[in-house]
Amino acid sequence: MSTRGESARKPPAIATWLVRRASPAAERQFILGDLREAFDERVASIGLARARRWYWRDALASLAPLAARRFFIATHRSSIATPGDSMWTSLLADLRHAARLSRRGALASFAVIATMILGVGSTTAVFSAMNAVLLRPLPFPHSERVVQLQGTLRDGRVIQTLAYPDLVDFQQTVPDFADLTVFQTNQRTLQHGSEPRLVHFVDVDDAYPRIFGTRIALGRGFTSEDAKVDAAPVVVLSNPFWASEFGSDRAIIGRIITLDDSPVQVVGVLAADAYTFPDPHADALEPLTIQPNTPMTNRGAMWAGAAALLKPGAVLAQTNRDLSAAAASIAQRFPNANRGISANAIGLRDAVVGSVAPMLELLAAAVAAVLLIACLNIANLILGRAQMRTREFAIRAALGGSPARVRRQVFTESLLLALIGGALGVALSPSLTHAIVGLYPTALPRANEVGIDMRVLLFASLTTLLAGVLSAIPSARRAARLDLSNDLRDGGRSGAGFRDRRFGRVLIVSQVAASLALLFAAGLLLRTFERLTTIDPGFDPRGVMTFHVFASSARYAEVADFDRYYANAAAALRAIPGVKEVSSTTMMPFGSGRFYDIFFPNDRGDQGANNPAAAVSFVAPGFERALGISVLRGRAFTPSDDSIAPRVVMINESLAKRHFPGRDPIGQTITWNTEKDWRIIGVLRTAHLDSLSEEAMPILYTSMLQSPKRSRYFVVRADTPPDQFF
Amino acid sequence: MTKGAYLGEFEMLVLISIGRLGDDAYAVTIKREIERRAKRGASIGAIHAALGRLADKGYVDFRISDPLPVPGGRARKYATITSAGSRALRSSVGAIGRMLDGLELGVEL
């Protein structure tokens, strides 16, 4: 009986079943338990029958709110995590929802991702290049202690070479120098296979491998015997040159190759990572032989490149004071050659990358601005989306979505977009880096060392995350400040409140300001560039082609031999259709072949150490026509100004103004190269030689027919495009 | 009252009941409290749904009791107001109070 009584006091089963069906699973046991407890109380107070009727009423009244609650949880569980879910479950749910929304607003999502790719990709690429070029040490041991020595001329001009005897003195008198190397660059012609090939050399002394850590992969390096005047000529090939020219043939060691028509023995091959200075792309090294009693050992003949290894703990400023003192002491002892000549040392890395540092820094500032604009753009796009979705946020809040959950959802969405954009940007940055290096393959020093490194990747990833979080803040603030009645009614139409509108305006103004700043900077750069292109270089480079030729002494022993060769070559070039003018010179504007020497106008007399200096250019007749330099006064060289004719020179306007002020230089004589009777026959327009932004230097032109040179640049003016011509 | 701290009338009643009941607030006692004081019916299901919404907004926390010490005894889900819940309640009630201030309805409030 008691069992029957117990069962008879149970609530109506159908009503219980209905409530069970309507309840959210997680709440079910508590809802049914509470109903049962209330039912039991009523059975005790009002009797079973009335209690059962109450149960039915309460159960039916519960169905609608419970079903709504269950529906809300079911529809939002996949996209909106509920309290009690694990962090990962809710994160996954948020991500799924974010992905769905991104697909729905495909255009806005695409804009965010594309902006991010641009921002992160360019930042990573430029900072990778900066890291490799400016920040990383040069790729050999103790590179931070290596300095390059530079010479300072009387007019303050800094050059990369010094006189050999001065360098020997510096090594002995500057206490911070642990080691010092002397070198020079050189070009020779290799006769190997069907085509002759120009080979770039560095002539090095025995200290060179100690200072630059140059390692040998095959064979041997140079010994002090190799540098002797009468030693058999030997060469060490660079690894890339060995691979490209000799197919990495290990039997190359001991082989004789032909350079400038002379036999030279290959004794070694450099390691693949060997660093060569000053030309990192040098094809080969050869021993530097100091020929005694030649201009090589003259003071005042500044031909030698030099680098020194400082002692550990040495301070560059002190080294430079010692170096200046040593140079001043030499100038006192040898005033004729060295008065006004000084020397200084700069860190090797600054010497290598100094010229591009401002460019890279400018580029870095520009991409930082691009990244800033990208972030602002993303913030704006995401804020715009959030305003469109005000109604959605309002519905969520009305159905019980907490502001914290909506905020988290907004953050997940913008993080997802930023991560996708960032990942693609990072993925694309190697190609972008490659493109940057490709833009300046020769101008960018250390280009072969540029690559993406882990720190830059980390930087880009952090930038991305930061951009994602920062750009979500305005939307999150919006989501947390809902005005339900307005937002539900107006939806996206008038969703933005005063503060949002103000924030949106601040974003747009910042974006426009940053864009304008970038635009102005770019405009100024373009203007500078335009002004540089409008500076008259003093010659007309259009349609001019130039190439270097060296007539070796092995094949052309006498002056008459190579003179004939050059005359024949010029005649052959003139016969090519489209060619208008052919000439040759030893010094090309913006090329190499600089040679400075001292002269003096005879009417002023020998001033000793105060004699003026000028760049000396040996030119063949027709040079000024080939290069488009106008003759301002007098005449230019003709074929009759040859070795049996009276000695003649031309000067440029800069030299005329400086050393013949207020008088006509035509007909004046000067002393140069120990000869007294060089007569000035013409004044040429001043041509810039090194830089458009620097003041043009004085130049003395002398006739190639009166001072023949083996090494010459041909200058060809033609209507034919260069590739067709060559 | 900030825009985000929005409370429906029924949610407000549930929150007030929880506040009054202290440690003993669960659906049965909340229902009793609302019926006794507000003189209006409230189904167990409606109270549970409102509690769920309030929890989503961070206004209430739950604590599950040990099973009652009787045969077949069940665990109860007790609710407490969070500080955010208190703030939301204060601002909602304050807003209503300010709205009513000086208004003649002809009834005693």
Q: Cβ–Cβ of A399/B55 closer than 8 Å?
A: no
Chain B residue numbers with beta carbons less than 8 Å from the beta carbon of A481 are: 2-4
Round to whole Å and give the CA distance between B20 and B14. 10
Contact of A352 with A279, CB cutoff 8 Å: no
Rounded to a whole number of angstroms, the distance from the CA of A56 to the nearest CA of chain B is 11
Contacts of A27 in chain B (CB under 8 A): 48, 52
Prior bond to A139 cis, omega within 30? Answer: no
The token pair that represents A504 in the structure block: 């949106």
Picking from A629, A595, A590, A636, the residue whose alpha carbon sits closest to that of residue A613 is A595
* Alpha-carbon span A380 to A375, nearest angstrom: 9
d(CA A726, CA A408): 66
Tell if the CB–CB gap between B44 and A65 is shorter than 8 Å. no
Q: A29 touching B, CB under 8 A?
A: yes
Could you tell me which of A93, A63, A88 has the C-alpha nearest to residue A77? A93
Residue A34 backbone dihedrals phi, psi, to 5 degrees: -65, -40
Opening angle at CA A216, ends A213 and A220, nearest 5: 125
Output the pTM of the full model: 0.55
Chain B positions in Cβ-Cβ contact with residue A59 (cut-off 8 Å): 43, 45
Secondary-structure breakdown of chain A: helix, strand, coil percentages, each rounded to the nearest 5: 50, 20, 30
Angle at A367 between CA A361 and CA A371, to 5 degrees: 140
* Chain B hits for A405, Cβ within 8 Å: 56
Spatial contact of A316 and A147, defined as CB atoms under 8 Å apart: yes
Rg of chain A over Cα atoms, rounded to whole angstroms, equals 41
Q: What would the two tokens of residue A590 be?
A: 């913006």
**Distance in angstroms (rounded) separating the CA atoms of residues A524 and A290:** 49
Q: Interior CA angle at A552 toward A550 and A555, to 5°?
A: 135
User: Which residue in B6, B44, B50 is closest to A38 by CB distance?
Assistant: B44
pLDDT for res A8: 64
**Quick one: A638 exposed, middle or buried, by C-beta within 10 A (0-12, 13-18, 19+)?**
middle
Beta strands in A48-145 (DSSP E): none
Give the closest residue to A651 by CA, choosing from A628, A675, A624, A626: A624
Residue in B closest to A393 by C-alpha:
B4
Beta bridge partners of A266: A235
Which of A243, A300, A233 minimizes the C-alpha distance to A263? A233
Which parts of chain A have pLDDT scores under 70? 1-8, 75-90, 101-105, 355, 386-389, 391, 396-402, 439-454, 456-457, 460-461, 464, 467, 474, 478-501, 532-533, 591-594, 609, 689-695
* Of B26, B43, B57, Cβ closest to residue A400: B57
Predicted complex: ipTM over 0.90: yes
Q: Which amino acid belongs to residue A289?
A: T
| Alpha-carbon distance A508 to nearest alpha carbon in chain B (angstroms) | 26
CB count in 10 Å sphere of residue A39: 24
Please name the helix (run of DSSP H) or strand (run of DSSP E) that holds residue A50, with its range, or none. helix A48-77
Strands (E), A315-424: 342-347
Average pLDDT over chain B, rounded to an integer: 85
Q: In chain B, what residues touch A23 (CB-CB under 8 Å)?
A: 45, 48
Please state the φ and ψ torsions of residue A345, each to the nearest 5 degrees.
-115, 140
Per-residue pLDDT reduced to its tens digit, A581-615: 999 998 887 766 667 777 888 888 887 767 787 88
Chain B nearest-CA distance from A32, in A, is 9
Per the CB < 8 A criterion, the answer to whether A517 and A369 are in contact is: yes
- Host H or E run for residue A272: none
What count of residues does chain A have? 726
Instruction: Give the helix/strand (H/E) hosting A391.
Output: helix A390-398
Contact B75 A30 (CB under 8 A): yes
Contact criterion met (CB < 8 Å) for B27 and A27: no
Cβ separation A62–B50 shorter than 8 A: no
Question: Which residue in A30, A33, A77 sits closest to B51, CA to CA?
Answer: A30
Q: Are B34 and B108 in contact (CB under 8 A)?
A: no
Report which DSSP code applies to B22.
G
Cβ contact (<8 Å) for B52 and A27?
yes
Chain A residues closer than 8 Å to B49 by CB: 65-66, 68-69
CB distance A709 to A593 below 8 Å: no
Which of B 9-68 lie inside 8 A of A, CB atoms? 26-28, 31, 41, 43-46, 48-50, 52-58
pLDDT at A692: 64
- The token pair that represents A418 in the structure block: 């930023």
Residue of A nearest to B54 (CA): A400
**Predicted local distance difference test score (pLDDT) of residue A88:** 64
Q: For A197, phi and psi rounded to 5 degrees? A: -135, 140
Considering only the beta carbons, identify the residue of B28, B53, B75 that sits closest to A400.
B53
Q: Write the secondary structure of A295-335 as one string of H (helix), E (strand) and C (coil).
A: HHHCCCCEEEEEEEEECCCCCHHHHHHHHHHHHHHHHHHCH
A10/A39 Cα distance (integer angstroms): 9
Give per-10-residue mean pLDDT for chain B (109 aa). 66 94 94 92 94 91 81 82 92 86 67
- Between CA A421 and CA A419 the distance in angstroms is 5
Residue of A30, A35, A66, A82 to mutate when probing chain B, most B C-beta within 10 A: A30
Closest Cβ–Cβ partner in B44, B58, B74 for A404: B58
Alpha carbon of B101: minimum distance to chain A alpha carbons (Å) = 22
Contacts of B25 in chain A (CB under 8 A): none
Strand A669-672 with A711-718, pairing: unpaired
Helix (H, G, I), strand (E, B) or coil at A217: strand
pLDDT tens track for B16-46: 999 999 999 999 999 999 999 999 889 999 9
Rounded CA gap, A460 and A466, in Å? 10
Of A673, A627, A608, the closest CA to residue A647 belongs to A673
Facing A65 at nearest CB: one of B26, B49, B57: B49
Comparing CB atoms, the residue among A63, A66, A400 nearest residue B56 is: A400
The pLDDT value recorded for residue A254 is 92
Helices (H) and strands (E) in chain B, counts: 4, 2
Please give the C-alpha separations between residue A351 and each of A59, A355, A360, A362, A442, in angstroms, as whole numbers. Answer: 88, 8, 15, 19, 16
Identify all chain B residues contacting A35, using CB atoms and an 8 Å cutoff.
Answer: 44
Among the listed residues A133, A159, A526, the one whose alpha carbon sits nearest the alpha carbon of residue A357: A133
Of A22, A59, A483, the CB nearest to B3: A483
Distance of CA A45 to the CA centre of its chain: 89
B49 and A403: CB-CB below 8 Å?
no
Determine the Cα–Cα distance for residues A560 and A576; give it in Å rounded to an integer. 25
Name the one residue in this structure whose structure tokens are 């970038």: A518
